[in-house]
Chains A and B, each alone.
Chain A
Amino acid sequence: MKTKLKIPAILIISLLSAANAIAQDAIQRYFADYADNPQFSSVVISSKMFQLFSSIDPQSNGGKEFSDAISGIKGIRIVASEEVTDGKVLFSKVNKKIGPEYEILMSIDEKDEKVRFFIRDEGPIIKELLMLVGGDSKIFIMSISGDIDLKKISALSKSMNVGGMKYLENLDDSKNKK
C-alpha cells in the first residue's frame, strides 16, 4: 500500500476504534471475560428494554421516584459471582483494571466487604456509574449507562425505606446465568 493511502487508512481505523471504545461500558471494556465465565452470573438490561418500561404503570411499580431515577438510564450490565476463591484479591485485580477515564466517587471499606463507586462523565453529565463490591468469596460489578442523576438514585432507598440490601440474593442464578 502506498504511504499516501496508509495515512488515511490508519486515521480511519483509529477513529473508528476510539468511537467504538466510547460506545462501550466498563464491563465490555475491561470485564468481558467475566461475563463469558460460567462461574459468573450476568444480567443485561438494554436501552430497548428501558423503552418498554414506559408501558409499565409507575404507581404500582415503585412510584414517581423510581420513574424519575430511571429516566435517562439507557442500560444496566451486571456480572457477579459468589463462588470466587479469593474475593478480596479479585476485587483488587478488578480495581486495577479500571482505566483513567473513570474517576472514583466513593469508597466503603468494611470488615467483610469493600465497595467502590466510579463515574465516567462528559462535562457536567455523568454518563456511566460503575459499582464494584468485593467480599471473601464474592465479587459484584455493575455498570449503569446513560444520563445519570445520582441525587435521584440516592433518594430512592430513602423514599422506599430500604437499607442494607443483600444484592447477591437478587440475582436469580437459574434464570440469569448465560
Chain B
Amino acid sequence: MEPSKLKLLEEKYWAGETDAQEEEQLRHFALTEKSGLSQEFIALVSANIAFARETTSAEFDDKFWNRVEENRNGGMGMKWLQFATYTKYAAALIVLAAIGLAIYSIAIKSDSGNENTIATEEFQDTYTDPEQAFEETKRALLMVSSKLNEAEQPILELKRFHESKMSITGSTAVDDNK
C-alpha cells in the first residue's frame, strides 16, 4: 500500500472511523512495511501485541493465581487488615477486663474478713486493745438493743390491748348468741 494511503488510513483510525478490516490492515503494515505510519502508531501496535502475548500466555494465569494465593495466606496488606480488625476486639476485651478487675477488687475489699468492710480509706480503729473495743461494741449493741426494745413496748401494749378487745368482743358475741 502506498504510504500516502496508509497515512490517510491512520488518520481515519485516530478519528475512530476505521472498521475491523482496515484496522487489521493497519496492524499488518505496522509490523511489516511501517512506511507512511507514525512512530506513535507503530509503538501502540507493538505494545498491544506484547500485552496480548503476556495475558494469553500460560504463565500469566499461574502468576495471577500465585498472587491471589499469596494474599490469601497473609501478604503484608492482608496481614495489616486482619490486625486492624482484631485490634478493636482486643481493645474491647481490655476495657471489659479492667472494669471486671476494678469491681472484683472493690468487692473483695468490702467482703473479705481480712479487709476493712465499711471503710475504704481513713479507717483507723479508735482502740488498739481488743478488750476495750469489745467493751465499746458491747455498750453500743446493748444501747441499740434497749432502744429497739423501747420501740417495741408500745407495739406490744397495742397488741395486748387488741387481743383483750377481741377476747371481750368475742365473749360478748358468744353471749349475744345465747
Contact = CB atoms under 8 A, between A and B. Distances in A.
Interface stretch (B33-41, B59-67, B146-154): B146-154
B72 to A, nearest CB: 31
B99 interface: yes
A19 B152 contact: no
Contact of A153 (B110, B126, B144, B150): B144
Interface stretch (A45-53, A86-94, A95-103): A45-53
Interface string B140-171: 11111111111110000000000000000000
Interface stretch (B10-18, B45-53, B130-138): B130-138
- Bin the interface of chain A by size: 35 or more
Given A44-B123, A170-B139, A153 B145 contact: yes
B106 A45 contact: no
Contacts of A84: none
B118 A155 contact: no
B103 interface: yes
Contacts of A165: 139, 142-143, 146
B149 A28 contact: no
A59 interface: no
B130 A52 contact: yes
B127 A49 contact: yes
Given A44-B126, A144-B144, A56 B134 contact: yes
B119 A20 contact: no
B78 interface: no
Given A150-B148, A157-B145, A46 B116 contact: yes
Contacts of B137: 45, 50, 53, 70, 73, 76
A88 to B, nearest CB: 18
A31 interface: no
Interface in A96-137: 106-108, 115, 117, 128-129, 131, 133
26 contacts: A12-B95, A19-B107, A20-B120, A23-B109, A28-B119, A42-B126, A43-B140, A44-B125, A45-B127, A46-B117, A46-B119, A47-B117, A49-B127, A52-B133, A53-B130, A66-B141, A73-B137, A75-B116, A75-B117, A117-B151, A154-B148, A162-B146, A164-B150, A165-B143, A170-B140, A178-B126
